[in-house]
Structures are given as C-alpha cells and as structure tokens.
Amino acid sequence: MTSPSNAPAAALEASGSLARAGDLFQLLRDGKPWTRAELAMTTGLARSTVAGKVDLLLTSGLVVSVGEALSSGGRPPSRFAFHAQARTVLAADVGASHVRVALTDLNGEVLSERRAEKPVAEGPEAVLGYVVESGKKLLAESGRPESRLAGVGIGLPGPVEHATGRPVKPPIMPGWDGFDVVGFVQRTLPVPVLVDNDVNIMALGERAAYWPEVDDLLFIKVATGIGSGIISSGQLQRGADGTAGDLGHVRVARGSDVVCRCGNVGCLEALASGGAVARFLAGQGVEAQAGADVVDLAANGNLAAIQALRQAGRDIGEVLATCVNLLNPSVIVLGGSMAAAGDHIMAGVREVVYHRSPPLATTNLRIVLSRAGERAAVMGASQLVSQHVLSPAGVEAALAATANAG
C-alpha cells in the first residue's frame, strides 16, 4: 500500500529512527486515520512492534481510536489518528502596546483568548504576570485542567536568544534585557516555555495555517517596527544570534537624512513603520499620531495618507527586492497592524519588487496579505510549543510521564 506519509517514513528509516513510539508518532501528525497494518507496511516494522508502540500512544491520549477500516475478511481492523485536543497550549503575543493570550489545541486551533492594551514598556513582571494570570483564567473558564497544559509559547517584540528565551538588548522593551522569561513563567506554570521574536512566530503561524505546502516564505510585519520571519527549505531561520530578518534597520536610499531610534540614519523603520508614516503626515498638517490613524485616514479616502502608504510600500519593496534576490522565496506575506491598509502598501511593494528583481526570481512569486491577521502570532506561538512537545523526544517524555503517573 502506498501512503502519503512515505516521505517522512523514509526519512525516519534513513536516520535509523523508528526505535521509539515517539518516532512512529511523527507519521501520525497529519491527523489522517491509520491501521496498525498500514503502519507496519509503511515502516517495515513487525506488526507486533507497531502494536506495542500504538498501545503506548493510545494510553497517552495523543492518539485515539476513530472507528474501523473496511475488512477483507474477519474482524475489521481498528483505525486511529492524532488527537489534537489531548493537550492544550497557552500562546501569548506580546506587542509594543498590546498583549494577546490564547488557549489552543495541539494543532494551533484557538479555543479562547483575551486581549489587553498593555505596553511592553511596563516591564517583564507586569506583562508576563498578565500572561500567566490570563492563561490560568482561560484554562479555568474552559474547564481544562492545568495538568493537561502542554506548554507556553511567547512572542516578544524584540531580539530573543532562542536557546534561553531571554531578550537581548530589545530597543523598545526597557527592563527586559536578559530577563529570565522562562523562569518567571515556570514559577506558576511548571511546563515547557518557548520564547521567540514575534515576527518569527508570526511566520510559523501563517505558514502552518495557510501555506503548509510552501517551504520558502517571508513574513513581513509592518507595525510599530518592521521585521521579517524567514522560512527557508521548510525551516525557520534565526541566524547565529537570533537577529535574522531584522529588516527595519536596513538602510534605504531615500532616508539619508532621517534619523532612526537606533542611532543610524536611513533605516527602513524610520521611513515606513506606522509611527514614521504618521509623523510624516503630521508634518504635512494631517492629524495623525500613530499607525492606526494612518490606516483610518486611508480607509476614509484621505489622499495624503494613501500616497504616504504607497511610498512606504515602495520603501519596503526596495529592501524586499534584495531579499528576493538573496533568498528566492515563493511567497511573501505582509502582516502587522499596518496591513489593514494592505492594498496601498501592497501596491508600492509589488511595484518595486517586480521591477528590481530578475524574472526568474519573480515568475512564481506571490506577494499577499496575511490571512491569519491579528492571530498570526498566537498561532505561531502555539506552533512553537507543538513542534517541541510533539517531537520524538517530547512524545517520549509525555509517555514516560503517563507511565509514572500510572
């Protein structure tokens, strides 16, 4: 029998895996029903070996029975599949001025959420305290016990050392540099805590939900700052020190006399972020204090706002044209709060990218608006946790915990 999961099976066999139930579980993560016989045929393992591993997974709750397959004679074989509701994930999107906390299943499906206007500048204790408190309330309101919480994923609006979860000299996060985010959260919720830059997790969330077949994707966040999440060959690229994708501080020719908050001149963020566009319009006598005001003005047909957004798109496009030449993505997704004015920004981006990039790099290139919208970050934070706890080692740990609890 030929299975759509033959590729992952071959990869596992080539690496000498399939020795543990956690390895076998990787074939089940697509959620499609399997029988023990189908797994044995796909992996080449003995049916008795497969049966033992499947029984362990059924006991853990990560796999559930989903009925019976057609019989070719005798008793119909049982079918089973990944059970995404077996555990819950707490996902948090910490922005420059807001915090969104969501409870999801292991597939990233949002079950419930809370959002508050809470500036990150209030400091880590206040912001993370809100995350933990909100998470506990969401669990209580949903009737899901804390014991079934798989982990906590958090996106922060600044550079993060992914291995430790500590922010690294974040420019808009006073008091956060080097703060032990993981330790703070684990004092109340003793589960795995994964932390990353917000744009990285937005890229993860957007791809998992809407572009699972795309291996080369750029997610561009345009909001208070500008950054990108880079997925290349199916893997999120963080770089040597976690700063990969920091497009906001790439120099743009038009801004040679514009000072950025980082101290340099000509940075993309100083020209095309929501605040930068608002400041430009205010200088022209148009009432605008923040990016949200610019979006509202454009929605109401204000010509100056529309033209400013189109120019912001051209500036972003100037930097993205280099990214296209360097990384050759097949999809570029524009997100963040300024994406609400997407048609105007998108027009400017496309104008420059398609003009300055070679035809071979743009023949199949799609430049689109985020479909996940405001939920992209919490969906990605959930994915960050799921990828960790559903890895072979993560599943083995869950099986061991189940056995010890028994």
pTM of the predicted structure, to 2 decimals: 0.87
For residue 62, pLDDT over 50 is answered with yes
Residue 103 neighbours by CB under 8 Å, 6+ apart: 88, 89, 90, 91, 110, 111, 112, 113, 135, 138, 139, 142, 144
Of the listed ranges 27-41, 131-145, 213-227, the one predicted with least confidence: 27-41
pLDDT tens-digit map of 95-146: 988 999 999 999 999 999 999 999 999 999 999 999 999 999 999 999 999 9
For residue 358, pLDDT over 90 is answered with no
Residue for token pair 């559903």: 390
Mean pLDDT of 260-269: 90
DSSP sequence for 285-334: T---SSHHHHHHHHHTT-HHHHHHHHHHHHHHHHHHHHHHHHH--SEEEE
Most confident of 7-21, 53-67, 392-406: 53-67
pLDDT category, 2, cuts 50, 70, 90? very low
Mean pLDDT of 325-334: 95
Instruction: Name the E strands within 51-104.
Output: 63-68, 78-82, 88-94, 99-104
Mean pLDDT, the chain, as a whole number?
89
* Contact call for residues 252 and 318 (beta carbons, < 8 A): yes
Q: Give CA–CA dist 253/259, Å, rounded.
A: 13
Residue type, 16: G
Most confident of 43-52, 59-68, 241-250, 287-296: 287-296
Of 311, 382, 403, 405, nearest to 111 by C-alpha is 382
Q: In degrees rounded to 5, what are phi and psi of residue 189?
A: -120, 95
Residue 345's pLDDT is 94
Q: Give CA–CA dist 63/28, Å, rounded.
A: 8
For residue 80, pLDDT over 60 is answered with yes
Residue 15's pLDDT is 37
pLDDT tens-digit map of 146-168: 999 999 999 999 899 988 999 99
Mean pLDDT of 234-251: 90
pLDDT tens-digit map of 296-306: 999 999 999 99
Mean pLDDT of 203-225: 95
Most confident of 2-11, 191-200, 245-254: 191-200
* Contact call for residues 244 and 367 (beta carbons, < 8 A): no
Residue 72's pLDDT is 52
Residue type, 213: E
Q: Give CA–CA dist 175/154, Å, rounded.
A: 17
Q: Give CA–CA dist 42/224, Å, rounded.
A: 49
Residue 81's pLDDT is 92
* Contact call for residues 165 and 186 (beta carbons, < 8 A): no
Of the listed ranges 63-67, 179-183, 345-349, the one predicted with least confidence: 63-67
Residue 75's pLDDT is 60
Q: Give CA–CA dist 261/353, Å, rounded.
A: 26
Mean pLDDT of 265-294: 94
